[in-house]
Amino acid sequence: MMPLLLSFPLLVLLPLPVLAQDIQYTLQHNVTNIYGTWSSGSQNVVTGAGFAQPANMSFIYPKTTGMSYSFTSDGYYEIARYRMNGNGTSPNCITGVMNWCHGTYELVSNGSITMTPFGDGYQQIQDPCAAISNFMQNYNDTELYVQWTIYQDPTLGYMLQLYQFDGSPLPPMALLSTSPNMLPTQPLRNVSTASAATKKKRHLEQREMMVERSSSGEPRRLAGGSRALLGGLVILLWSVGMGSVFM
Ligand SMILES: *[C@@H]1O[C@H](CO)[C@@H](O)[C@H](O)[C@H]1NC(C)=O
Ligand SMILES: *[C@@H]1O[C@H](CO)[C@@H](O)[C@H](O)[C@H]1NC(C)=O
Ligand SMILES: *[C@@H]1O[C@H](CO)[C@@H](O)[C@H](O)[C@H]1NC(C)=O
Ligand SMILES: *[C@@H]1O[C@H](CO)[C@@H](O)[C@H](O)[C@H]1NC(C)=O
Ligand SMILES: *[C@@H]1O[C@H](CO)[C@@H](O)[C@H](O)[C@H]1NC(C)=O
Ligand SMILES: *[C@@H]1O[C@H](CO)[C@@H](O)[C@H](O)[C@H]1NC(C)=O
């Protein structure tokens, strides 16, 4: 039914009605299974201890932006994301977002993946033009990916393609290792439910991702000295109950 899949993987932008069909664990759907660690772009972003230190809510910044997903064979996932949001009107106002979470996932029979976080996820937002130019917040969004495929790229090897809640594709991720590189699959810090009340704003998240895909290359991380100015973006986003401005 999808004979071109293996040779033209990037053309697999299926229309939504097709996405709704039942999952197929066939060679056409995934040429290998999803277990392991996947990473986009130049693969400097990788899940595990080299990215997030949940106990003290800190991050180790990768050399370049990107995203990484890990899956165990017994239902656990971890996500590491590092992205920059460009700002056309104010080129100096580049927002950097580091995001980490983990929890349990399910390969749903309708072809989607649901990811339910443990509640200990967090993210750091750096906006040199915001009133608060650098802050941490809890991140605990349940995520839905309406479809996924795994194909083999001639040079990069196995590639995981995830489609977001609205069907739009994420950047493809290459398989780094078949054994997942992950932090322990349990809550790694205590979060009070009151402070974890960040709710989903996926439309916002979606727009952020669009920005990334349309920008060329992978910008380097914010210079330390550029974080001190004021502006409205983060406040605005926060005030609509954000929690999900990440890549
Ligand atoms: C597939 O199942 C998930 C989980 O139950 C649900 O959220 C999603 O809407 C379903 N997708 C379709 C296309 O029905
Ligand atoms: C596709 O992925 C599923 C889940 O990881 C796995 O059970 C199945 O064996 C995979 N199919 C192939 C052909 O590897
Ligand atoms: C957080 O903890 C790690 C060890 O787990 C340590 O290496 C790091 O310096 C700490 N970071 C901060 C900001 O305290
Ligand atoms: C995180 O989200 C999950 C799934 O919605 C929920 O069960 C859990 O209570 C949340 N945890 C916190 C600390 O808010
Ligand atoms: C959470 O708090 C409880 C009680 O103080 C403690 O026993 C537990 O080790 C803490 N868990 C983590 C992951 O820090
Ligand atoms: C760009 O920066 C300006 C000035 O700080 C700000 O008002 C505007 O909201 C920003 N736009 C985006 C898309 O971030």
Is residue 197 predicted with pLDDT exceeding 70? Answer: no
**85/106: higher pLDDT:** 106
Q: Is residue 7 part of a domain?
A: no
* Residue 182 and residue 216 share a domain: no
Rounded CA gap, 166 and 140, in Å? 19
Using a 10 angstrom Cβ sphere, with 0-12 exposed, 13-18 middle and 19 or more buried, the burial of residue 165 is middle
Domain assignment present for residue 3? The answer is: no
Ligand 1 center from residue 21 Cα (angstroms): 10
Question: Are both 159 and 226 inside the same structural domain?
Answer: no
Say whether pTM exceeds 0.95: no
- Cα 38 from Cα 35, distance rounded (Å): 9
HSE of 145, CA atoms in CB hemisphere, 13 A: 17
Q: How far is the CA of 91 from the centre of ligand 6 (A)?
A: 9
Is 64 in the same domain as 184? yes
CA dihedral 99, 105, 106, 107 (to 10 degrees): 60
**pLDDT value at position 96?**
95
Please indicate, yes or no, whether residues 72 and 127 belong to a single structural domain of this protein. Answer: yes
Mean pLDDT of the chain: 76
Which helix (H) or strand (E) covers residue 204, if one does? helix 202-214
Residue 25 pLDDT grade (very low, low, confident, very high; cuts 50, 70, 90): low
Residue type, 6: L
Residue 224 structural domain: 192-242
Cβ-in-10-Å burial (0-12, 13-18, 19+) of 141 comes to buried
Average pLDDT on 174-203 reads: 77
Segment 12-29 shows an average pLDDT of: 48
Task: Please identify, by atom number, the ligand 4 atom nearest to the C-alpha of residue 116.
Answer: 4
Q: pLDDT tens, 128-140?
A: 888 889 999 999 9
